[in-house]
Amino acid sequence: MSGGRAAALLLVGVLIGGISGGATAAYLTYRAAQSPSQPAINVGLPIATPPPAASGTADEEIVGVVQDLLPSVVTVINYASNGQPQSSGSGFVVDAAKGYVITNNHVVEDTRTSGAGASFDVVFSNDKKTSAKLIGRDPFTDVAVLQVAAQGLKAATLANSDEVPVGALTVAIGSPLGEFQNTVTHGIVSAKGRRVAETSQVILEDLIQTDAPINPGNSGGPLLWAATHQVIGVNTLGVTQATGINFAVSSNTVRQIADEIIANGRVVRGYIGIQYSPITPRQAAQLGLPTGTIGIIVSQVVPGSPAEQSGIQVNDIITKVNDQVIDADHPLSSLLVKNRPGDKVKLTLIRGGKEMTVDVILGQPAQ
């Protein structure tokens, strides 16, 4: 989202429980129950062909896409270690042959910790229920991949989200409140390329904004381009106190992250090797820095890390990454979200009152 720091902080304050459209508190009832220097990983999630021209009325397009892809959409049930359902959300099959299901990271998280739930089930549109294995998850893009037995599945296709035009007719399918399975809503693509603060340290990038209603429990379900029957995003959050402002992680982001998760079980991002905290106005004044100086102050440099090899020192004040200012809207973790080990980043820092730049070759964090 591009409204500046005040707007971002306001948006954080009005997200439903931090994440609107997120996993519901419990499954209420069960009826019948990149970087340029690293090649892209592709383990089989297909790249959509250019979309055909739209035909038919809007009603016909909506009915057609629902009839086609409803069997691909699932309800995801997240169980605590005691075996009790602790939350639920939505998801969709993206690979019928291998049984891969896409959902949101916050759908599979333990509701009391930052870890994952103990076990998972998925419920298909025909009320068939089966267990699912968590392949991996990425909190920084809110994407997770589950796997189910590959028996009679129907997959949805990830579109090239760059191709969907603003104003295109969209359809969202999911299980709001964990109760109303197979719920269909529709709207349009309201905007593209939005960035929204999910937490103080996680800024979701390249979001598709839609006015298709998204409610708690819809998270992880597909946002569909009605004209092409393709997934353009994964519904992830909405805004309370505002009507028709909802967001989905773009399908291009989902494809990249899901491929990495399937290949490696996780997404490995570039590692600098420092501990730090935001610099306060009082610290800036004590160090004789200009009023309004923002950034992070280094409290520890990990021995042998890329930071140490690049000459970064304790008490250095890092203000920019690749000329992007580090602030509340752009925390360090968000600025490095697309970087991988081996990438070179330029850090702007202040040392002894003097500004300088340092190039850092990112490493790989210890597992």
Question: Active-site positions?
Answer: 106, 142, 219
The helix (H) or strand (E) run that includes residue 106 is: helix 105-108
Please give the DSSP secondary-structure letter assigned to residue 153. Answer: -
Query: What per-residue string of b and e applies to 105-121 under the rule 16 or more CB within 10 Å gives b?
Result: bbbbbbeeeeebbeebb
Question: CA 19, CA 198: separation in Å to the nearest integer?
Answer: 7
The helix (H) or strand (E) run that includes residue 13 is: helix 4-14
Give the DSSP letter string of 244-293.
S-EEEEEHHHHHHHHHHHHHHSS----B--EEEEEPPHHHHHHTTPPTT-
Question: CA 12, CA 109: separation in Å to the nearest integer?
Answer: 19
Please give the DSSP secondary-structure letter assigned to residue 164. Answer: S
Indicate if the alpha-carbon torsion angle 241, 185, 116, 266 is positive or negative: negative
Give the DSSP letter string of 15-39.
BGGGSTT--BSS----TT---TTSP
